[in-house]
Amino acid sequence: MNETIHMQEAEGLKPSVSLLEERWRIFKRNRLAYASYLCLLLLLIVAVVGKVLTRWIIVFDSQTVRLSEKFLPPLTAFTSTITPEEDAPAFDMYLMGTDELGRDVFARMLEGTSVSLTVGFVAVGISVLLGIFFGGLAGYYGKKKLAFISVDTLIMRFVDIMLCFPTFFLILTVVALLPPSIYNIMIVIGLTSWMGTARFVRAEFLALREQDFIAAARSQAIPGWRIIFIHMVPNAIAPVLVSATIGVATAILTESSLSFLGFGVQPPDATWGNILADGKQFIFDAPWITFIPGFAILFVVLAFNLCGEGLREAFNPKLKEGA
């Protein structure tokens, strides 16, 4: 099967540049977006490396308390004689200073990178899956009747209802009532942000449903779920992924706001949000504890936003040309 396709392509059926490559080229031309894409790749590596380092290598331990080393400014060399040698920070230097318990802010930021990114990606993953599921149902089985109401009406009314909740207030309510845990936060953020994706997917599916290749698939008695996931979703996924990129940014911001209010990820686990929230009490004595995570959040969210916007322009060239 695969071979025949390749042969057909070799016979000249394949366009010189595939659609994806063309989009990619347009995306690359947007220097700001491409730069932020590279930054995000770097951040991903930092997150993975940071996870490994803080987990297994003792000098990067983010929870080592050194009470004699409180509030040291960034780039202070490790000279203490009281603190045992094995608790010394990486490179024998507090690259980003220490906090009110003498913990190494650099190590905490490293640990926080992976936690913050995980929160962002998992929350968006949940919301994308839910969005595709509900949007797909509404788009594909929309005309089916359940008793007196069609599937489409039912799901879209539900989307309307969900849109009426003040999102942040709802997240806050649920997170405050549930036992504090990082998984609850991811799930709650995911559960309250799928509505936009569902609308996108439904709109795409309504258009796709009428196309010939879907009719062809249906004529071969391929089951509905297979048509949805194998045939339709790949064709509708581009706008979803674009909005997901921006969704990650929003999720990271939401998590940091929750942490700021004290409902986020609980100590001793570090995220950028709760490092910032802890540091804010010492903003005059030790401004670096507030400013380092603050600017880290700013840059990462900015990178996600710019990257998402670049992708949106690449996948929807009309935005740029028509304007």
Chain positions contacting other proteins, by CB under 8 A: 32, 157, 160-161, 163-170, 172-174, 176-179, 249, 253, 256-257, 260-261, 276, 280, 283-284, 290, 294, 297-299, 301-302, 304-306, 309, 319, 322-323
CB 255 within 8 A of CB 122: no
Of 49 and 178, CB closest to other proteins: 178
Nearest to 315 by CA among 214, 218, 245: 245
Of 150 and 167, CB closest to other proteins: 167
Work out how close the CB of 215 gets to other proteins at its nearest, in angstroms, rounded to a whole number: 34
Work out how close the CB of 265 gets to other proteins at its nearest, in angstroms, rounded to a whole number: 15
> In whole angstroms, what is the distance from residue 32 CA to residue 20 CA?
20
> In whole angstroms, what is the distance from residue 185 CA to residue 188 CA?
5
Burial class of residue 26 (count of CB atoms within 10 Å of its CB; 0-12, 13-18, 19+): middle
> In whole angstroms, what is the distance from residue 189 CA to residue 175 CA?
9
Nearest to 293 by CA among 285, 284, 283: 283
Work out how close the CB of 44 gets to other proteins at its nearest, in angstroms, rounded to a whole number: 18
At 79, is the secondary structure helix, strand, or coil?
coil
Work out how close the CB of 274 gets to other proteins at its nearest, in angstroms, rounded to a whole number: 12
Who's near 7: CB < 8 A, 6+ residues apart? Answer: none
Of 178 and 241, CB closest to other proteins: 178
Work out how close the CB of 69 gets to other proteins at its nearest, in angstroms, rounded to a whole number: 25
Of 145 and 280, CB closest to other proteins: 280
Work out how close the CB of 246 gets to other proteins at its nearest, in angstroms, rounded to a whole number: 9
- The beta-strand segments (E) located in the chain are 76-77, 93-94, 145-146, 149-150
Query: Which residue's entry shows tokens 């304007």?
Result: 323
Please state whether the peptide bond connecting residue 268 to the residue before it is cis, i.e. omega within 30 degrees of 0: yes
Partners of residue 76 on adjacent β-strands: 94
Of 147 and 323, CB closest to other proteins: 323
Of 229 and 295, CB closest to other proteins: 295
Work out how close the CB of 182 gets to other proteins at its nearest, in angstroms, rounded to a whole number: 17
Q: What single letter denotes the amino acid at residue 201? A: V
Q: What is the 3-state secondary structure (H, E, C) of 237-275?
A: HHHHHHHHHHHHHHHHHHHHHHHHHCCCCCCCCCCHHHH
Work out how close the CB of 176 gets to other proteins at its nearest, in angstroms, rounded to a whole number: 5
Of 12 and 179, CB closest to other proteins: 179
The total of other beta-carbon atoms located within 10 Å of residue 315's CB is: 17
Of 63 and 167, CB closest to other proteins: 167
Of 88 and 126, CB closest to other proteins: 126
Would you state the structure tokens that stand for residue 196, as one six-digit string? 């936009």
Work out how close the CB of 91 gets to other proteins at its nearest, in angstroms, rounded to a whole number: 28
